[in-house]
Amino acid sequence: MPRNQSTAAQRARAAQRETGAKYTAALRQATTADTSPTVFSLRELLAECTASPEWTGGHPEVDAEWAPRMFNSALLGGPVPYNAVLLLTGGLAAMGLSAEMVMESRHGFHTAVVACGGRRFEVVLSQDDRVTELCLAPGCDRYPVAEVLIPYCEHRHLAERSETELAKMAWAWGNDRRQEFESTPAAVHPGDKGNALIAAAVTQGAFSKVAAELVDGCYGDPDLIDEIHLDDVEATAVRHAIDNEYLRLRERARSAAAHIRKLAGGLCICGAPLRLAPEANVPARYCSTQCASSAANSPVIR
Q: Which of 34-48, 78-92, 270-284 has the lowest mean pLDDT?
A: 34-48
C-beta separation of 127 from 84 below 8 A: yes
Which strands make up the sheet holding 39-41, listed edge to edge? 39-41, 100-107, 111-116, 119-124, 131-134
pLDDT tens by residue, 177-218? 999 999 999 999 999 999 999 999 999 999 999 999 999 999
Query: Which pLDDT score is estimated for 292?
Result: 87
pLDDT of residue 226: 84
Question: CA–CA separation, 268 vs 287, rounded Å?
Answer: 6
Which tens digit of pLDDT belongs to each residue from 74-132? 999 999 999 999 999 888 888 888 999 999 999 999 999 999 988 999 999 999 889 99
Instruction: Give pLDDT, residue 12.
Output: 52
Q: Mean pLDDT in the chain?
A: 86
Predicted pLDDT at 142: 96
With bands split at pLDDT 50, 70 and 90, how would you rate the model's confidence at 295? low
Lowest mean pLDDT among 11-20, 197-206, 243-252: 11-20
pLDDT at 155 over 80: yes
Angle between helices 42-51 and 82-91 (to 10 degrees): 150
pLDDT of residue 128: 86
The answer to whether the Cα torsion of 150, 154, 157, 159 is positive or negative is positive
pLDDT of residue 16: 53
Instruction: Please tell me the distance from the alpha carbon of residue 115 to that of residue 127, in angstroms, as a whole number.
Output: 20
In the prediction, which pLDDT does 231 show?
Answer: 86
